[in-house]
Structure 1
C-alpha cells in the first residue's frame, strides 16, 4: 500500500509540475479545470492498473494452485511475545491512517454544519433555482452549491456584479469540484498535493466566474476597482469565495490579460506521451506463455540470522498432494528441479524443493532488523530453455529486503530440464511472494 501511495504522489507531482510550467498562465480556464480534475483522478487510478493487468494476464495462461502456507521463522532463546500484545508497524500505520480519515471527516461535517447555521440565521430569498441568503452585519460573499451568501454591507454596494459572479459558480457547478477534493482530503489527508490541487481549482473557479461576469456587462475597470476592496472572508475551503484576499491580485491580472491564442492548445496534446509512459511503467510485467504461482513465504524475524521451517496449515497438508497435482497452465512438462527426476508429481516436488531452497538460503538482514524493515516483496523470475534462472524482477518496501530476496533467487540451481510444450523447450515464468515480518 505504501508503494502505491508513493507512486500516486509522484504522478500528482508530475501533473502539477506540468500545470505550473505550461498551462497555469494560459486563459483556457475551463480546459485547465478539466486538466486538474482529470489528472488527479488519473494519478489515483494508474497505480492500480498493474494489479489488474497482471491478474488478467495470469488468468488467461495458468490455473491457480493453492498450496498450504509455509512460514519461515527464526529461533530465539527468549520467548516469543504474546501476539495479543504485539502491535506491528503495519497495524500502527493503519491505525494512524484511519484516525486521520475520521478526524478529517469530522472537520468537514463541522464546516458544512457552520454553513447551514449561517443559512438559518440569515434571510433567505428565492432567486429562480438558487437561494440568496442575506447575512446581517456581514461583508461576506460566497456560494455553496445553489446557495449564495451575501452580507448586508455587500448588498448595499455592488449587489448585481457580485450576484452575477456567484451565479456563474452555481451554473458551472464549481462546488462539486471543491467537494470532490474535500472527499479526497478525507481519504488522503496526509497528502499535501491534494490541498495544492484544491487551491489551484479554486483559483480557476474565480478566473472563470470573473471572465463570465465581465462578458455579461460589467466594465473591466470598475470590476478591477471592486476586486481591490478589502472585505471579510469566511474560511471555508469548499465554498466559492468572492472576496479572497490572496486571490485578488491574481484575479486582476487575469482580467487584464490578453486571451491565449488557440494555437497554444497544442501544448495539451503533449499530455498523451506522459500518460502513455505512466501506463507503460505500471504495465511492466511481461506476459509470457507459462507462469507458475508459488506459495507465499512469510518470514518472521526475532533478531538472529538463522532460519527454520514449519507448516502452519495442518488442515491443508492432507490435501497438499492432490491440490498440487493440478496441471500448471498448458505446459506438458514443468521444469525439473534437481532431485525431482524420478518424482511421480514433478510439480509438487518442484514446490517442495523450492521451499527447502528458500529455507536453506534465507537470512533476515541485520540492518533491516535494526531499522524495523518489514513488508511484502513480490518477485518474478524466468527459467529459460537451458534451465537457468534469468530476468529477475521484484518490488519491495526496502532495498535491504529486495537484496535478500535476490540472493535467494540467484542461488536456485540449474534445472535438470526446462518447461516443455508440444515437444519444445519454453521459457517459464514464476511468481514468488515473500513477506518479511518482525515480532
Structure 2
C-alpha cells in the first residue's frame, strides 16, 4: 500500500513538472483544464497497468537456483539439502498493529478533512442566509450588505453591496462564465482528492493551478466581449475582500491578480504549440515500463469454475514465457484470492518436468510433499511440492538449466551442475561434495549472522516475506553482480549488503581453468507474532 501511495505521488509530481515546464504559459485553457483533471486520475490507475512484453529477465541458462535460505536468529535450525545451499530462517518480531496505526491515522485525517469541508459549506450557507436573494432564471444573485466580496459557487453569485455598477457588470459576466463552464465541479473534484489524500501536498498544488486556470479562462472570455481597459480597472481599482474558501471562484484573489493581468497581455498561442501535449506520450510510456517491470500480478483472478485451465507443465530447458507465463500468473492470482485452494507442484523422477495444478485445501497434503508459502508483495499463497528430485529448485520462479556448450577459454560462466570443481568457502576442505556441503552451511550461517532482523519492526513486516538474490563468484573468487528482489526496497538493500560481506573464495574450475559460477539464492524472512 505504501509503495502504491509513493507511486501516486511520484507520477503526480512528474505530471506537474511537465505542466509547469511546457503548458502553463499557453492559452489553450480547455486543453490545460483536461490535463489537470485527467493526470491525477491517471496517477491512481497507472500503478495497476502492466505490459507483459516489457519485463526485466535474467538468462536462465546461466543461473543456478540454490535451495531456499530461511533466515532465523537461531543458526541451529539450518539443514543441508543435497549439495545445494540450505534453508536459513530469519525470525523477526511482528510490530504491534503497525498497519492498524497507519490506517487509523489516515481515517482520522480524512474525518478532519471532511469536517473542514463541511465547515466551508456551512460558511457559504451562512453568507447566503445573510444576503438578499435575487433570482434571474436559474441564476441566483446574493447581495451581501456592507461588503465588497465577489465570488460564485455553482449557480449562485455572491456580490458585495459596496461594489460599483461597472465592477458589478464585469464581475457578473466573469462569474457567469465560471457557472456556464462548470468550474465549481472541478474544484469539488479536488476537494474530494484533498479529503482522501489529505497527506499529499501535490493535490493542493493541483487545485491551486486549476483555480488560476479557471480565472484565465473567464478573464479571456470577458475581455473578448468588453475590452481590456475597464476590466483592468476592475482588477486594480482597490483591494477587495474575499472569502477564504478553497473551492469557490473568487473574482478578487489578490495573489492571482498579477498573474491574470500578465496572461491577459499574452498573445494567443499558435496551433503548433499544441504539439507540446505530446510530451505526455514518452512520459506515460516510461511509467508503463516501470510498472510492467515492477508489478508481478495485475491479472484478473479466475473463477473456481475454470481452475483446470490453471494447470500446465514445464519441460527441462523451457523458459516460463508466453501463454505459460500468463497461466502461471493466473495460477498465482487465483491462489492469492482463494485461500481455500492450494497449488500442487510435481517433479518427475528424472527431474526433467514440472507439473503445476490447483486443488482444494480439503484434499490434504499428498504423501512426500512439502508445504511452502510464497509471498507476492503483501499477499501470499500455499503450494505443496514433492522435493524428491534435488534438481528442482523450491522457488516460485523455477529456472531449469539449459543444455549449452561451455568454453572457459572464452570467459563463459559455468553452471553449478556441470562444473568440475565448485568454488570453495574459506576453511572448507575435503572432496568436492564435502566442500559443497561446507559452503552451503557457511553461506547459511553468514546470512543468518549478518541480516538485520530489526527491519521487521522498522518496515512493519508481517507473515512470510520472500527475498530472491542472485550473484556470481568470479574467476578471482569475489562475489560480484549481486541482484535482489524483495517485497520492500529496504529488504533488497539489506540482502545485497549481507552478500557483499561474503569473504573472497577459491574460484571454481573447469578443465583446470578458473571460471565464474552463477548462483540464485531464495531467502525467506518469517515474522513471528
What TM-score results when the alignment is normalised by the length of structure 2? 0.58
Question: 2:233 — aligned with what?
Answer: 225
Distance 1:40 1:7 in 2: 12
Give the whole-Å Cα distance in 2 for the aligned partners of 1:37 and 1:354. Answer: 47
Summarize the Cα distance change of 1:24–1:371 in structure 2 as closer, same or farther, 3 Å threshold: same
Distance 1:213 1:378 in 2: 62
For these two proteins, the number of residue pairs brought into alignment is 355
Give the conservation status (yes or no) of the 8 Å contact 1:375–1:397: no
Where does the alignment leave 5 or more consecutive residues of structure 2 unmatched? 56-69, 75-92, 297-319, 334-338, 357-366, 371-383, 396-439, 471-480, 503-519
Q: Distance in 1 between matches of 2:140 and 2:352?
A: 73
Q: Looking at CA atoms only, which structure, 1 or 2, has the larger radius of gyration?
A: 2
- 1:391 deviation in Å? 11
Structure 2 residue 163 is matched with structure 1 residue 126: no
CA offsets 1:204-259 (integer angstroms, 9 cap, x no match): 0000000111122x120121121113100100001110000000001111111111
CA distance in 1, matches of 2:258, 2:102: 42
Alpha-carbon distance between aligned partners in 2 of 1:434 and 1:117, rounded to the nearest angstrom: 61
Listed as ranges, the matches of 1:27-426 within 5 Å are 27-50=27-50, 87-154=96-163, 156-216=165-225, 218-228=226-236, 229-284=238-293, 288=321, 289-290=324-325, 291=328, 323-325=342-344, 333-334=353-354, 348-350=385-387, 354=394, 363=448, 365-366=451-452, 368-369=454-455, 372-375=458-461, 394-400=485-491, 403-404=494-495
The worse-fitting range, judged by mean Cα deviation, of 363-372 and 5-14 is 363-372
Instruction: Tell me the alpha carbon deviations over residues 271-311 of structure 1, each in whole angstroms, 9 at most, x when there is no partner.
Output: 1111111112111258823437789xxxxxxxxxxxxxxxx
Cα distance change, pair 87–368 in 1 and its aligned pair in 2 (3 A): closer
Deviations 1:100-120 (A, max 9, x none): 111111100111111111112
Partner residue of 1:12?
12
Shift in Å, 1:369: 3.9
Alpha-carbon RMSD: 4.3
Q: Distance in 2 between matches of 1:398 and 1:104?
A: 31
What are the Cα deviations for residues 50-98 of structure 1, in whole angstroms up to 9, with x where unaligned?
Answer: 5xx78xx9xxxxxxxxxxxxx98757xxxxxx99xx7333222222111
Change (3 A) 1:392 1:349: farther
Structure 2 CA distance for aligned equivalents of residues 433 and 266 of structure 1: 49
Structure 1 portions without partners, runs of 5+: 58-70, 76-81, 296-315, 337-342, 383-389, 412-429
Q: Are 1:131 and 1:147, in contact at CA under 8 Å, matched by a contact in 2?
A: yes
Larger relative helix fraction: 1
| 8 Å contact from structure 1 (residues 368, 401) kept in 2 | no
